[in-house]
Amino acid sequence: MTEQQHFPYKNDHLLVDNEWLAQHSHTQALVLLDARAKGYEDSHIPGAYWLDVRKLKDHARNTIAPLDGLKDLLASFGISNASTIVVYDEGSSVLATRAFYVLEYYGLRDQVKLLNGGFAAWAAEGYEVSSEHPPVQTGISLNLTDNPLLIASKENIQAEQGNRLLLDTRAALEYTGEDQRSNRKGGHIPGAIHKEWRDALETADLDGVIRFKDAPTLEREFQAAGIHPSKTIVPYCQSNQRGAHSYFALRLLGYPDIRPYEGSWDEWGNDKHTEVVSLLPGNE
């Protein structure tokens, strides 16, 4: 039986497996972040700091958390401008990719990696876990600068941009408007293509582990949906958590210009002055 051939992603360095992490876990410049919503206190990968992903968002203003508090938080984990950062969550990566996006937005581009399969993969393969907290770091020098080319605003979207492609990463019923959630309006931004964030993931294996699809499959499926690397891609969802997942998948494939809409439907779907397309019967 021949060994299955590996087709690398264009940015293969952004996604690591358990073997890579085990080999590099004691590297001085490596910082490990656990982005799970729960479970850290019971067990986590040894040396991991818990990152509360909610702290990465200023929910009152629908923006990324400002630098002042965020810089101190990240420095307390030992993150410096020379760090390699590995983030994981329970396995679907929707929380880990949110952290990935915010860290890249603040200047740590190509220094952040995701653990494919997350904690579920680590535990399923029998690697060591711990309940001990690593020490808080002090005296770390960390300089962060926001990158306006990695974000889109409502005003950007409302302006005419011929080479832009809006990517709605929400569930299909949110896109059509049938699931309005708690928003003032349901539907999608005019012209947006729908491709749900979870389409980038394989189905769970027998151990319940969820990993990213292989490179050829991802490339084929994104391009079949009309999402081409020649465009400026603007993913969005409800709060740019699922949108950030698609940001990571596209980064992994080497798409050069991805600018998530941070306000997402929290802003667009609750603004009196935004235009919405609904696909409900009678609204076509």
d(CA 87, CA 12): 15
Residue 3: what pLDDT?
43
CATH 3.40.250.10 domain position(s) in the chain: 12-124, 148-268
92-115 pLDDT, tens digit per residue, is 999 999 999 999 999 999 999 999
Q: Which CATH superfamily does the domain covering 148-268 fall into?
A: Rhodanese-like domain (3.40.250.10)
d(CA 190, CA 203): 31
Residue 282: what pLDDT?
60
Above pLDDT 70, what percent of the chain?
97
9-39 pLDDT, tens digit per residue, is 999 999 999 999 999 999 989 999 999 999 9
The CATH class of 12-124 is: alpha beta
Query: Is the pTM value of this prediction over 0.75?
Result: yes
* Residue 51 predicted with pLDDT over 50: yes
